[in-house]
Amino acid sequence: MPLGLLMVNLGSPDAPTAEATRRYLAQFLHDYRVVDTSRWIWCPILHGVILRIRPKRSAKAYASIWGEGEEAPLVRITRAQVAGVQAQLGDAVMVETAMRYGNPSIGAGLEKLMAAGCEKIAVLPLYPQYAGATTASVYDGVAKALEDKWDVPELRFLRDYYREPAFIAALADSLSDHLATLDWTPDRILTSYHGLPQTYVDAGDPYQSECLETTVLLRAHTGYSEETLQSTFQSRFGPKAWLQPYTDKVLEALPEQGIKKVAVMMPGFSSDCLETLEEIAMEAEESFLHAGGTHFAAVPCLNDRADHIDLLSDLARRRLLAGWLDEVE
């Protein structure tokens, strides 16, 4: 029997349209891990306001980064990562793509693996740092997909990989590779992570500390100072206080401090997506230049770089499939 490996990313709408974006946002924003507000309060707001207004605006943003092809960049890149890992792991392991929200779904991925005879399945969430709203939600999604099955596979899950030396090295190399393409040197480099409501961290979510440790490890590897390489948080939503400092506010303030050349990298994202290609590479650049900045660069995510594929394949072998592979090889 082949072993199964399910590589799971966040997801995207099926198309850059208001209708498809509404379906996607409805699933995403119904997840209690993402929005922990009482459903009696949240559902009227979600269905009465947010899903009436936001899909059209979000669809326009998705359209700006969609490019050619039937699937969003996040999905296309994740498929490329899966293909790379499959090539390295060989026929003993069947690797499938899944999205926590949207398509291809976790349920569809598990069905393919189980239909192929996989009785042992490892799940690799493509989130370097753990958060309840991301990694733990993947655990929930797998459990939900299997809840009506009488015969479920043996499962293993990867929690995080932000401390992996190969991950830090890949980030450092991707940064230096991108900076080498520029004819200028940044005064400041931001490591911008997806935000999280402060209340989640106050309740015990370790995400913030794992993001900050990622930057500390990256500084140690590259030799950049704390002043030069700074952590920020992006993509806040709603009225609650989110993790700070906010990426957009920092960028708007830097030119007044004489910092007019900035590069932004996003070590919490394994693949480029709306939050990196549109929010940072388009919106953040525009606001930074409008505030008086002169040079801006968005460093691509690790995507399907060879060193990233090597890392993901090694994680699968060493931390997920160890022991299992010995039984089938």
- Which residues, listed in sequence order, are joined to residue 8 by a DSSP beta bridge? 98, 125
Name the token pair of 208.
Answer: 């913030």
Name the token pair of 297.
Answer: 């660069």
CB-CB contact of 294 with 184 (8 Å): no
Question: Which residue type, as a one-letter code, is found at position 268?
Answer: G
Name the token pair of 201.
Answer: 């961290």
Q: Is 290 annotated as a binding residue?
A: no
Q: Is 194 annotated as a binding residue?
A: yes
CB-CB contact of 55 with 22 (8 Å): yes
Number of neighbouring beta carbons within 10 Å of residue 135: 23
Give the separation between CA 119 and CA 3, rounded to whole angstroms. Answer: 7
C-alpha closest to that of 288 among 186, 194, 196:
186
Give the separation between CA 81 and CA 88, rounded to whole angstroms. Answer: 11
Starting at the edge strand found earlier in the chain, the sheet holding 120-125 runs 93-99, 3-9, 120-125, 154-157
Name the token pair of 249.
Answer: 């506010």
Give the separation between CA 304 and CA 115, rounded to whole angstroms. Answer: 28
- Give the containing element (helix H, strand E) for 265: strand 261-265
Phi and psi at residue 323, to the nearest 5°: 90, -50
Give the separation between CA 281 and CA 303, rounded to whole angstroms. Answer: 16
Give the separation between CA 192 and CA 152, rounded to whole angstroms. Answer: 39
- Binding-site positions read 194, 275
- Binding-site positions for Fe(2+) read 194, 275
